[in-house]
């Protein structure tokens, strides 16, 4: 997702043009779904959360700063929605009315299928999901969304050093968890 691809659609989407919003949706849905999938513990709720993200995108888009990268802004939006979802379960009741706002466009290939194909090691995701939310956010942004530490720092609104230390701590915990898994007989073969 490049800014040059999405920026031409943002102003018409802000002005309420449905076709422009459909294009923004098509260009971002795989990214949003994949990021949400990695951050949510309950995978059955990912679709509902993605709807929440797009409702918030509609509300927040007029405040987007075109001088900043769209992907970082969108990642921040997704992370805030995941945090809010995890804090307030009652939001599920409001989804029924909000789902009518979202155009029904299915991604060409389900992101969870793409993730399984790309990783071919589903157990890695299980280890990542075992991390605390703060550590999981850094790992997802760094390795699944290819964000730099500066982008992670900006997205999570934390100092650069904190982003790096969370990354280091997450890797340490993942290494420890994977060693324990291997001692118990291993979940997958190492290439």
pTM over 0.85: no
Domain range spanning residue 102?
1-108
Asked if residue 101 and residue 26 are part of one domain, the reply reads yes
Torsions phi, psi for 131 (to 5 deg): -70, 160
Say how many domains are in the chain: 2
Asked if residue 144 and residue 72 are part of one domain, the reply reads no
Cα torsion 69, 143, 171, 113 to 10°: value is 140
Distance CA 83, CA 76 (A): 11
Q: Are 130 and 169 in contact (CB under 8 A)?
A: no
Q: Are 34 and 111 in contact (CB under 8 A)?
A: yes
Per-residue pLDDT of the chain (191 residues; tens, 9 = 90+): 687 788 889 888 888 888 989 999 999 999 999 888 888 877 888 888 899 899 999 899 999 888 888 988 999 999 998 888 777 654 444 454 455 455 555 556 666 666 556 654 566 777 888 889 899 999 888 888 888 999 999 999 999 999 999 999 998 998 888 776 555 554 443 33
Where does residue 12 rank: exposed (0-12), middle (13-18), buried (19+ CB within 10 A)?
Answer: middle
The first and second tokens of residue 176, run together, are 């420890």
Asked if residue 135 and residue 89 are part of one domain, the reply reads no
Provide the CATH number for the domain around residue 143: 1.10.10.10
């Amino acid at each position: 997702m490049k800014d040059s691809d999405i920026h031409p659609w943002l102003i018409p989407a802000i002005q309420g043009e449905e076709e422009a919003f459909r294009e923004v949706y098509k260009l971002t849905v795989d990214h949003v779904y994949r990021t949400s999938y990695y951050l949510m513990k309950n995978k059955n709720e990912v679709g509902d959360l993605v709807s929440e993200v797009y409702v918030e995108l509609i509300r927040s888009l007029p405040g987007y700063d075109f001088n900043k990268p769209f992907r970082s802004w969108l990642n921040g939006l997704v992370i805030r929605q995941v945090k809010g979802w995890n804090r307030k379960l009652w939001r599920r009741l409001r989804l029924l009315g909000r789902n009518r706002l979202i155009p029904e466009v299915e991604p060409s290939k389900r992101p969870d299928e793409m993730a399984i194909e790309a990783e071919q090691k589903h157990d890695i995701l299980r280890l990542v999901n075992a991390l605390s939310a703060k550590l999981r956010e850094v790992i997802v942004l760094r390795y699944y969304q290819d964000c730099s530490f500066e982008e992670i720092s900006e997205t999570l609104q934390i100092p650069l050093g904190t982003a790096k230390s969370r990354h280091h701590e997450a890797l340490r915990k993942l290494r420890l968890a994977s060693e324990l898994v291997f001692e118990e007989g291993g979940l997958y073969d190492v290439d």
